[in-house]
Amino acid sequence: MSELFYLICFLAALLLSGLYMFNWRKNYDVHLTLIFALVPIINAGYLMLSEARTAEAAVNAYKIVYIGGCYLHLIIMLAVFSLCGIRLGKWLRTMFMTISSVVYLSVITIGKNDLFYRSYRFEQAGGAYTLVKEYGMMHSVFYMLVIGYFALSLGALIYAFIRKNQVSRKIILMLFLPAAVCVGCYLAGKWMDPPREIVPAGYVFAQLCYLAIVYRISLYDVSETAMESIAGSNSTGFISFDLDRNYLGSDDTAKEILPDLNDLTVDLPLSRSETLDRMFSPWLDSFDADPSDSEGSRHFYEKGSRIYLFTVQYLQGRKREVGYQLIITDDTLDRAYINLINEYNNDLENQVAEKTAHIIEMHDNLILSMATMVESRDNSTGGHIRRTSVGVRILIDAMKKLPEAPDGYRLTPKFCKDLIKAAPMHDLGKIAVDDAVLRKPGRFTPEEFGIMKTHAAEGARIVHEILKSTDDYEFHLLAENVAHYHHERWDGSGYPEGLKGREIPPEARIMAIADVYDALVSKRVYKEEFSFEKADGIILEGMGSQFDPALKAAYEAARPELEAYYSTERE
């Protein structure tokens, strides 16, 4: 087949990948992104194969081409499962990746052994160059791999079509086409006389199908579509600042309401505009004082005959707040109605508040009961959750009494209250640890310790499930972080993710000190309780390696009360 055909396929793949990247959105499935990244590379391999004039050049081109069979078909299968809402376990994904990698390792060793090609030679016939191959054992495995991935994809599509009502039937049909066409092109090329490599065209067709799929996904993603619609409707405005109150940006609606925003420069302080600083700074101060206070986060601004509501909230990063966001809505028509119904809502609000408090109390008791139940299974940590909760409270009280908060910590009343409330949940993940490990009367082997370490990630999952319906997202995130990261170390040698320094959420850093201190000064089945002096030496030695050094002053201030508390516990 002519070099022009492969050049066209390569350029088409490159163009379609560029279109995908141009229209990329964060909600797109990662497997689709990998497909669009790999197809131009693979088609470049086919182009190199068509231009090869030596056996070595042809083999090198094939090593690129076989990325498609070994990895691209796997990624296509994973995309099918993901888009069909079928979850594959981590061990299954690892197994598939391992098998593909083993097959591809045999590919890149062509010429050094006979696993994939027993032999090969380069021939020229009628102006065409061909690599004549005698296949080895791993080539048969490769065939089985491609057919297996296609069969699993087809099975997932059939299952989703029958059982998954929340998966679009159009997407299911569009997912079937690229998988079928790619395999069909591969087999059809082998059956041609002489054989031809027409797979590149199949890959280009697959890209077209996936572009149609991501377009449909964009329509189905209600939340993102709604946000874009709001932002584009000129009815809602947005203004953002970082935690140092440097201006990050605003939309056209906000600038129309407050023209002074046009004079603010991104990354420069709010104080550069006297008018806006006088307006926004008191709002941000009020919000900082208590972010949970809805009155402190809602402010009204009158301009002409219009009344605008400014709502202050945190700008959320991955694990913590990174700034402030002001959301502006036109509240003119609602004000009269709100003033009217407020007169009738006082009694109802009191009743709701009373019942909500009762529900929260029941919820908190349920969580504490679950933590106690988990602890009752662990014969080495009796009373641990109660003692660590007190330890966290003592540390927080000490931090609040310091002349200024430790660097990197914002000790708002809600943060302190939420952390004390979340402390008993830090070891909930132990409920998933087998009794043979959890109740072992002695030190763990490395294998057993590996099992025990899973309790951190499992605890985060359990906390997430328990709190996913709560309206208090800040508490939800904080409690999940405490369970997930309280075994991370400042130097990055902890688990489960090896976070380092300020990558570790502040609440988890505080929890870590209370957790380790209790383990040191309490008796365990594998050790006697340490003296307060020895425990203190270990904690101080760990500042900067295991613990955040910014907490050293707070710990030293808390030490007398910690020792007093644990002295009563030993009596």
- 90-149 tens-digit pLDDT: 899 999 999 999 999 999 999 888 899 888 888 876 566 777 888 899 989 988 998 898
Sequence-distant (≥ 6) Cβ neighbours of residue 221 within 8 angstroms? 25, 27
For residue 341, being part of any structural domain is answered with no
Structure tokens at 562: 């910690």
pLDDT at 501 over 90: yes
Asked, for residue 207, whether it belongs to a domain, the answer is: yes
Residues 98 and 200 in one domain: yes
* Strand order from edge to edge, sheet including 247-250: 247-250, 236-242, 321-330, 306-316, 298-303
pLDDT for 432? 84
Amino acid letter, 257: I
Q: How many domains does the chain contain in total? A: 3
Q: Is residue 340 part of a domain?
A: no
| Confidence check: pLDDT of 245 > 80 | yes
pLDDT in tens, 514-564: 999 998 998 877 778 899 999 999 999 999 999 999 999 999 999 999 999
The whole-chain average pLDDT of the chain stands at: 83
CATH number at residue 368: 1.10.3210.10
Task: Output the pLDDT for position 30.
Answer: 85
Chain-centroid distance of CA 100 in Å reads 26
- Domain co-membership, 421 together with 437: yes
177 and 47 within one domain: yes
Residue 376: band (very low, low, confident or very high) from pLDDT cuts 50, 70, 90: low
Rounded-to-integer distance, Cα 73 and Cα 148, Å: 10
Q: Is the peptide bond before 496 cis (omega within 30 degrees of 0)?
A: yes
pLDDT number for residue 235? 65
Could you report the per-residue pLDDT of 193-226, keeping only the tens digit for each?
A: 666 778 888 888 888 888 887 776 654 443 344 4
Is residue 390 within 8 A of residue 518, CB to CB? The reply is no
Residue 295 lies in a domain: yes
Residue 469: CB partners within 8 Å, gap ≥ 6?
none
**Residue 129 DSSP one-character state:** E
The pLDDT value recorded for residue 225 is 43
Last residue of a domain, one of 191, 220, 249: 220
**Structural domain boundaries enclosing 468:** 350-570
Tell me, yes or no, whether 543 and 561 share the same domain.
yes
- Rounded CA-CA distance 237/226 in Å is 14
Q: Are residues 305 and 381 in the same domain?
A: no
Rg (Cα) of the chain, in Å, rounded?
31
Q: CA 183, CA 451: separation in Å to the nearest integer?
A: 41
Identity of the residue numbered 66: Y
**Single residue among 159, 193, 220 that ends a domain in this structure:** 220
Residue 213, domain member (yes or no): yes
Q: Which two tokens stand for residue 227?
A: 């946000």
Find tokens 């297996």 and name the residue: 148
Among 119, 178, 182, 120, CA closest to 146: 182
Residue 112 in domain: yes
**Same-domain status, 231 and 209:** no
**In a 10 Å sphere around its CB, with 0-12 CB exposed, 13-18 middle and 19+ buried, how is residue 477 labelled?**
buried
Query: Which CB contacts under 8 angstroms, 24+ apart, belong to 394-400?
Result: 394/558, 394/561, 394/562, 394/565, 395/510, 395/513, 395/514, 395/551, 395/554, 395/555, 395/558, 396/420, 396/510, 397/558, 397/561, 398/554, 398/555, 398/557, 398/558, 398/561, 399/510, 399/551, 399/554
206 and 255 belong to one structural domain: no
228: amino acid identity, one letter: E
What does the pLDDT read at residue 429? Answer: 87
> Higher pLDDT residue, 129 or 329?
329
The enclosing domain of 302 has a CATH number of: 3.30.450.20
- pLDDT of 3 reads 80
Q: How far apart are CA 24 and CA 517, in angstroms?
A: 48
225-239 tens-digit pLDDT: 444 444 555 568 888
> Counting beta carbons within 10 angstroms of the beta carbon of residue 199, is it exposed (0 to 12), middle (13 to 18) or buried (19 or more)?
buried
Distance CA 156, CA 179 (A): 12
CB of 199 closer than 8 Å to CB of 186: yes
Phi, psi of 542, deg, nearest 5: -80, -5
One-letter identity of residue 479? A
Q: Give strand pairing partners of 323.
A: 242, 315
CATH code, 170? 1.20.1070
**pTM (predicted TM-score):** 0.42
Q: What is the pLDDT of residue 146?
A: 86
Helix, coil or strand: residue 122: strand
Please check whether residues 38 and 102 belong to one and the same domain.
yes
Residue 337, pLDDT score: 66
Task: With beta carbons less than 8 A apart as the criterion, state whether 145 and 71 touch.
Answer: no
Judge if 126 and 94 occupy the same domain.
Answer: yes
The two three-digit tokens of residue 7, written as one number? 């050049």
Q: Tell whether 335 is covered by a domain.
A: no
Task: Tell me how long the chain is.
Answer: 571
Asked whether 542 and 551 are in contact (CB, 8 A), the reply is: no
Digit-coded pLDDT (tens) for 24-72: 776 677 888 888 888 899 889 888 888 888 888 888 988 898 888 888 8
Residue 223: per-residue pLDDT? 39
Same domain? For 208 and 242 the reply is: no
Task: Identify whether 389 is part of a domain.
Answer: yes
Query: Residue 99: which H helix or E strand, with range?
Result: helix 90-108
Q: Are residues 178 and 309 in the same domain?
A: no
Tell me if residue 546 falls in helix, strand or coil: coil
**Which one has a higher pLDDT value, 220 or 408?**
408
Q: Rounded to 5 degrees, what angle do the CA atoms 211, 212, 213 make?
A: 90
261-314: pLDDT as tens digits:
888 876 788 988 899 999 999 999 999 988 888 777 889 898 888 889 999 988
**Would you state the structure tokens that stand for residue 110, as one six-digit string?**
């062509």
363, 456: one domain: yes
- Percentage of the chain surpassing pLDDT 90? 29
Least confidently predicted of 179-193, 393-407, 510-524: 179-193
Boundary-marking domain end, from 163, 193, 220:
220
